[in-house]
Amino acid sequence: MTYHAFHTHGESRSSRWLITCDHATNTVPPMVNGGTLGLPQSEMSRHIAYDPGAAGVAHAMADALDAPLITSNFSRLVIDPNRGEDDPTLLMKLYDGTIIPGNRHADAAELERRMELCYRPYHAELGRLAASRRSPVIVALHSFTPQLRGRPPRPWHVALLHTPPQNALSLAMVARLQSEDDLCVGDNEPYAGHQPGDSIHRHALSHDRPHVLIEVRQDLIATVEQQRAWGRRLAPHLVAALADCKE
């Protein structure tokens, strides 16, 4: 059985934009624990397994920007592509109160096997796509849960995560979105910045490439129509924000 750790859409497009979606799916490859992590579908449908709605927004945004898109084809519970190779949360055994049975006995050898199967092919392709474009601008699409267990509701509709000093595009995007009267915009909320070795650090910060990481609240992108609407809404703001950075 042939397994691909990623899907690439629109590679022939000439735009300098490159859209990524690290947590696009809750797929467990058949080579990993027989294709299951021992969790019921109700748990695999939660944010612990992937970023619900993010892939749909990413596709709509890529189409609007005439940009290529890369999406992962494995659950973050298999291995998290948005972590550095030495990050202790790369392979989670407990996530937001849920024990992951299929990861309970995963040792260093199993971690290495999953890195070779999923993590490294995904990052190799992302790196290839970025290197193949002239002056690429990387946009990472994620989604966040409206509320973690035992925590207060999150008010933000959309958020930008960034780390100075290479955050000019993010700051311009924050300003653009904050000009919209109907949006509550998170500026490094509900999380802050980037972590060493994560996708933006690896493919943007380390290469001094302009970039932005966008998070959209999951209840706002639950349907295909909502996902398309958000992708189309965000795309022109990205173009304008990039122009702002050149002034």
Whether pLDDT at 1 is above 70: no
Confidence of residue 76 (pLDDT cuts 50, 70, 90): very high
The percent of residues in the chain predicted with pLDDT above 90, rounded, is 89
Cα 136 to Cα 195: distance, rounded to the nearest angstrom: 21
CA–CA distance from 154 to each of 42, 144, 213 (Å)?
22, 9, 18
When pLDDT is averaged across residues 113-139 and rounded to a whole number, the result is 97
pLDDT of 64 = 98
Cα 158 to Cα 3: distance, rounded to the nearest angstrom: 33
pLDDT of 204 = 96
Task: Identify residue 143 by its one-letter amino acid code.
Answer: S
User: Each residue of 129-172: pLDDT tens digit?
Assistant: 999 998 999 999 999 999 877 788 999 999 999 998 899 999 99
Whether pLDDT at 103 is above 80: yes
When pLDDT is averaged across residues 38-44 and rounded to a whole number, the result is 96
Whether pLDDT at 5 is above 90: yes
What would the two tokens of residue 54 be?
Answer: 């993010």
Whether pLDDT at 203 is above 90: yes
Whether pLDDT at 202 is above 70: yes
When pLDDT is averaged across residues 85-112 and rounded to a whole number, the result is 94
Whether pLDDT at 192 is above 90: no
What would the two tokens of residue 49 be?
Answer: 């397994």
User: Each residue of 22-37: pLDDT tens digit?
Assistant: 999 999 999 999 999 9
Mean pLDDT, all residues of the chain: 95
Q: Which residue has the tokens 């909502």?
A: 226
When pLDDT is averaged across residues 185-193 and rounded to a whole number, the result is 90
Confidence of residue 196 (pLDDT cuts 50, 70, 90): confident
Cα 239 to Cα 10: distance, rounded to the nearest angstrom: 19
Whether pLDDT at 247 is above 70: no
